[in-house]
Amino acid sequence: MSVKQKLFLSNIMMFSVPVLAYAVFSYIADRLSWQYLLDQTFYSFEQFRSVTESVQRVARICTVAALFVTLLLLNTLLSRGILRRIRDSLSQLSEGLRQLRQGNRSFRLQETDNDEFVTVRSDFNSMASQLQQSVERVEQNERNRKELLAGISHDLRSPLTSIRAYAEGLLDGVPRTEEDKMQYLTTIRDKTADLQKLVNKLFLFSRIDMGQNEDHPEKLDVAAELNELCSAIAPEYEDKGLHIVCSSEGEANVMADPDTIHRIVINIVENSCKYKLSEEGNLHIHTVANDKYVSIRFTDDGHGVAPEAIENIFDAFYRADPSRNGKISGSGLGLAIVSRAVRNMNGVIIARNVQPHGLELEIQLPILEASV
C-alpha cells in the first residue's frame, strides 16, 4: 500500500473511528445511567433530577475522555506505520548511497513495492547504472591511453634504435667502402621515412578520433569512385603480390569526402597486402546497395584473425600477431583510422573471418539515393 493510500485511509479512520467510539460510549453511558436511576426510585423529584444531571455529566466526561484516548492511540498507531514505511525507504536509499560511495557500483535497490518511492528507487538504479557505465568508460579510456602510449613508444623506439646504430656506425668508420656507406645512409633514410609515416598516421588518428579532421563531404557514387580508385592502385599492388578485383551491384550515392574514402581503401588494401599467406594474395572489393545503406566488402585470402581477437582489430596499435617484433611490420593504426573515419560518416564497420582462410571487412554507409 502506498503512503498516499495509507494517509487517505488514516484520515478516514481518524474521522470514522472516533464517531463510532463516541456512539458506543454514549450508548453504554446512557444505559448505565438509566440503570442507576431505576435502582434509585425512592428519590424525590428534585433529588432525581440532580442525580440525573450528575450521571449525565459524568457520562459526558467519560465519553470525551474515551474519545480523546481513542484518537491518541489511533493517531500513534497510524503515524508509526506511515513513518516506519518512510524510514525504511529512506534507509534503503541511504544504504544505496553508502554502497556507491564505497565503490560497489553494481548495487541496486529493489523495485517490488508499489508506493511513491518506486520512482525514487527506479531513478536511483538508473543513476547507478549510468554511473557504472561512465566509470567503466573512463577506466577503458585509461587502459586504451596506456596501450596507446605503449604502442607509440615501441613503434618509435624501433626505427630510432636502427637510425642511431647506423649513424654511430658511420661515425665510428664501420663501413669501409662507399657502397657500404651508401647502404648505411639508405637504411637511415628508410627508417626516417618510416618514422615520418608513423607520425603522420598518429596525427591523422588523433584528429579523426577527436572529430577535428577537415572533411569536405559531397554527393558521391561509391561504386564508380571505388572502381576508379582500384584501377589506379591495382598495378602498384600487383607488383607487391596482391591481386585486386573490384565489382559492384547497382548504383549508390552517399555523402562522403572522397579523400576519406581513398584513405579508408588504401589502409584496408595495405592491411591485406601486409598479411598475405604467401608471396601472392587476392583482395576482392565488392559494392552492393539496398534501400538503406551501401555495403562495401573487402575480402582477402590472407591469415585471417583469431576469433577471440577479431573484436579488437580496430583498436589503436592492436595486432593479431602476439609478438610486436614479428616479421610483419606496421604501426597498428591503419584499421583504427578506418574505424573512426567510418564512424564519423555515421557508418559501421564489421570484421569477420572467411573460409578456408582470410578476413572480410564490411563497411555500411547510409545512402542518399540508390538504384539497386
Q: Rounded to whole angstroms, how far apart are CA atoms 353 and 361? A: 9
Per-residue confidence of the chain (372 residues) as pLDDT tens digits?
Answer: 555 556 556 656 666 666 666 666 666 666 665 555 555 554 555 555 665 666 667 667 776 777 677 777 777 776 777 777 777 778 888 888 888 888 888 888 887 666 667 788 888 888 888 888 888 888 877 887 777 777 777 778 888 898 999 999 999 888 889 899 999 999 999 989 888 888 887 787 777 777 777 778 889 998 899 999 999 999 999 999 999 999 988 777 899 889 899 989 999 998 899 888 888 999 999 999 888 899 999 999 988 888 888 888 887 766 655 433 344 555 567 888 899 889 888 999 999 998 888 999 999 999 885 444
Fold of 142-209: Helix Hairpins (1.10.287)
From residue 17, give the alpha-carbon distance in Å to each of 13, 25, 117, 162: 5, 12, 29, 96
The full set of domain ranges for the chain reads 3-104, 142-209, 218-371
164: CB partners within 8 A, 6+ apart: none
Cell triple for 370? 540508390
Quickly list DSSP for 59-123: HHHHHHHHHHHHHHHHHHHHHHHHHHHHHHHHHHHHHHHHHHHTT-TT------S-STHHHHHHH
Q: Positive or negative, the Cα torsion across 299, 300, 304, 305? A: negative
Residue 32: what pLDDT? Answer: 60
Among the listed residues 297, 276, 301, 278, the one whose alpha carbon sits nearest the alpha carbon of residue 287? 297
Chain mean position to CA 81: 41
Q: Rounded to whole angstroms, how far apart are CA atoms 271 and 320? A: 12
Phi, psi for 247 (deg, rounded to 5): -150, 165
From residue 22, give the alpha-carbon distance in Å to each of 19, 57, 64, 65, 73: 5, 15, 8, 10, 15
Fold of 218-371: Heat Shock Protein 90 (3.30.565)
Residue 18: what pLDDT? Answer: 62
